[in-house]
Amino acid sequence: MEKIIIVDYGSQYTRLIARRVRENHVFSEVVSPQSTLPPGEIKGIILSGGPESVYEESAGKIPVWFDQIKGSIPVLGVCYGFQLIIHHLKGVVEHTGKSEYGRTNMHLNGKTTFFNGCPSSFITWMSHGDSVTRLPHGFEKTAQTDSGIISAAENEQLSLYGIQFHPEVKHTEYGETIISNFLFEQCGCKASWSLEDFAEQKIKEIREYVGNKQVISGFSGGVDSSVASVLVHKAIGDNLTNIFVDHGLLRKDEEIEVPVVFKRALGLKFRLVHAKDEFFNELAGVIDPEQKRKIIGEKFIRVFEREASEIGNADFLVQGTIYSDVIESAGTKTGKTAKIKSHHNVGGLPEDMKMSLIEPLRDLFKDEVRKIGEILGIPDHIVHRQPFPGPGLAVRCLGEITDEKINILKEADYIFREVLREAQWLEKAWQSFAVILPVRSVGVVGDRRSYGYTVALRSVDSVEAMTADWSRIPHELLDEASRRITNSVKEVGRVVYDITSKPPGTIEWE
Ligand code: XMP
């Protein structure tokens, strides 16, 4: 299968490049700078951006195979990748003191097929401190910015291309044109890959990898674990057992509904494990969010290991990890991306785990996962469910987790989501939920003083959870939710609506 290889130097945007390539129906694979070239028909290589300077000791280096493929496979360097090519070929990269961040106007110098279809000047998205100041022999400057900084260059004979801006972000005008030019003009790709192929390929790989061994899946009822389980089920049938853990941190009534609904809809084999006391005992008194995540990640694995031995020593554990979990837990192949939080199925796993992981969706964004779900024939109401985090309500119950707070949270969350569901707002949002705060405030109820909990309502719109904006829910609906919550959950004294985007906030509160 023909493919484009993306070498990851740690930019938050690396996966966006992979995704833009796939949107052109060309398969893309992300590798680390140290890895060997993967097998397959490699049509082109993209060196990603990254946070470092080529002069830093720890900076990602040019791959050892670069000089061997130079001239035979087209290479595109983006931002840091561009500087790395130039530095490697004895051009000059300098810290000139002239940084460029954000929207930057760029001017083309003349004709190159690389910029086919682009006007002579357009807006690009930059994020760099160092700049290329002298090009190596054989290179030509093809564009510069308003401040005269070289923003694109190429050596057509060696099929080497470099751009200082990020074509993968939507803020770069003609970014899509530039990427598709590289794929089809420079690399000669054929646009023959699809998510259908990806699903088929994964099923084949899993079948070969697992053979006739037993596998368990950590099933949460969310889109990711459902799609991962169905994919593995297609590969190995009933050698897969889905473990649904009731850790007491599920949404209201889910421990009853999920196994029934999903067994019926997906035809999967389930085991329901009641483990609330185990989880709550470990979490008692813990208030640090990272510690909570670690405890839950560890506890999950211990439960899975116990179940694995009960069903006859399963060797593999399926998890619905997707790429945003990987990025934000700093689990990219370089490990250079900044850590935001330990998503429980990436950063929170114990090191001595006995089973091998199967994570078929690790390279995909949520909307790609949903498309795979549709391809596999999973019903719409499951594929388009709002995401729910593995650590469940634990990351929405700030401070210590107690029975009292979790019960209040379940009720308030249920009411908020019901109000949105009735008004057909639930399906419009990426996620909508309640959060309980560890502070109380004074109020007045029936002429008496009250001293109740504060509940924050959060609803966000997003495409892939990397960025998000708060949902513009009509005031009447917020009013309805607030009144219903304070009327029926007597411990709640105050309801607030969270109007923070991501960044600077995250979607969950912990
Ligand atoms: P944040 O809060 O980091 O969340 O903006 C981004 C998306 O990921 C979900 N999330 C998780 N999913 N395990 C998961 O499977 C986790 O530990 C986890 N933490 C957050 C979150 O609900 C949002 O959709």
pLDDT tens, 439-460? 999 999 888 899 999 999 999 9
Q: How many CB atoms lie within 10 A of CB 475?
A: 9
What pLDDT is stored for residue 224 in this prediction? 93
Residue 379 has pLDDT above 60, yes or no: yes
What pLDDT is stored for residue 13 in this prediction? 87
Instruction: For residue 273, report the distance from its CA to the centre of ligand 1, in Å.
Output: 23
In this prediction, residue 30 has a pLDDT band, given cuts at 50, 70 and 90, of: confident
Residues 6+ apart with CB under 8 A from 237: none
What pLDDT is stored for residue 329 in this prediction? 65
Residue 177 has pLDDT above 80, yes or no: yes
Lowest mean pLDDT among 90-94, 227-231, 320-324: 320-324
Q: Whose CA is nearest to atom 6 of ligand 1?
A: 465
Q: Whose CA is nearest to atom 22 of ligand 1?
A: 389
What pLDDT is stored for residue 98 in this prediction? 86
Structure tokens at 287: 């208030």
pLDDT tens figures, 467-488: 789 999 999 999 999 999 999 9
What is the rounded distance in angstroms from the CA atom of residue 240 to the CA atom of residue 269? 7
Can you tell me the mean pLDDT for 370-389?
A: 93
Query: What share of the chain has pLDDT > 70, as a percent?
Result: 95
Which of 96, 178, 172 has the alpha carbon at shortest distance from 142? Answer: 178
Angle between helices 289-310 and 276-283 (to 10 degrees): 150
Instruction: For residue 433, report the distance from its CA to the centre of ligand 1, in Å.
Output: 13
pLDDT tens figures, 68-86: 999 999 999 999 999 999 9
Structure tokens at 338: 């900044």
What pLDDT is stored for residue 313 in this prediction? 84
Residue 466 has pLDDT above 80, yes or no: no
Q: What is the CA radius of gyration of the chain?
A: 25
Structure tokens at 32: 């680390």
Which of 396, 431, 508, 510 is the pocket-test mutation for ligand 1 (most atoms within 8 Å of CB)?
508
Can you tell me the mean pLDDT for 426-446?
A: 94
Lowest mean pLDDT among 46-50, 184-188, 334-338, 404-408: 334-338
What pLDDT is stored for residue 344 in this prediction? 53
In this prediction, residue 12 has a pLDDT band, given cuts at 50, 70 and 90, of: confident
Which ligand 1 atom is the nearest neighbour of the CA of 395?
19
What is the rounded distance in angstroms from the CA atom of residue 210 to the CA atom of residue 207? 6
What pLDDT is stored for residue 342 in this prediction? 66
Q: Whose CA is nearest to atom 21 of ligand 1?
A: 389
What is the rounded distance in angstroms from the CA atom of residue 388 to the CA atom of residue 411? 16
In this prediction, residue 339 has a pLDDT band, given cuts at 50, 70 and 90, of: low
Place of tokens 């020593």: 313
What pLDDT is stored for residue 446 in this prediction? 87
Which ligand 1 atom is the nearest neighbour of the CA of 220?
15
Place of tokens 């210590």: 400
Instruction: For residue 296, report the distance from its CA to the centre of ligand 1, in Å.
Output: 14
What is the rounded distance in angstroms from the CA atom of residue 266 to the CA atom of residue 223? 12
User: Which residues are known catalytic residues?
Assistant: 79, 166, 168
Please classify residue 353 by burial: count the beta carbons closer than 10 Å to its beta carbon, then call 0-12 exposed, 13-18 middle and 19+ buried: middle
In this prediction, residue 102 has a pLDDT band, given cuts at 50, 70 and 90, of: confident
In this prediction, residue 327 has a pLDDT band, given cuts at 50, 70 and 90, of: low
Instruction: For residue 507, report the distance from its CA to the centre of ligand 1, in Å.
Output: 7
What pLDDT is stored for residue 230 in this prediction? 96
Per-residue buried b or exposed e for 319-344, using 16+ beta carbons within 10 Å of the residue's own CB? bbbbbbbbbbbbbbbbebbeeebbbb
Which ligand 1 atom is the nearest neighbour of the CA of 222?
15
Residue 328 has pLDDT above 70, yes or no: no
Place of tokens 């779900």: 373
Lowest mean pLDDT among 8-17, 216-225, 335-344: 335-344
In this prediction, residue 214 has a pLDDT band, given cuts at 50, 70 and 90, of: very high
Residue 410 has φ and ψ, to the nearest 5°, of: -55, -45
Residue 174 has pLDDT above 60, yes or no: yes
Query: What residues flank ligand 1, with Cβ below 6 Å?
Result: 324-325, 328, 341, 343-345, 387, 389-391, 431, 465, 502, 506-508
Residue 330 has pLDDT above 60, yes or no: no
What pLDDT is stored for residue 99 in this prediction? 86
In this prediction, residue 164 has a pLDDT band, given cuts at 50, 70 and 90, of: very high
What pLDDT is stored for residue 341 in this prediction? 62
What pLDDT is stored for residue 351 in this prediction? 72
pLDDT tens figures, 139-156: 999 999 999 999 999 999
Residue 298 has pLDDT above 80, yes or no: yes
Which ligand 1 atom is the nearest neighbour of the CA of 502?
5
Instruction: For residue 508, report the distance from its CA to the centre of ligand 1, in Å.
Output: 7
Residue 491 has pLDDT above 80, yes or no: yes
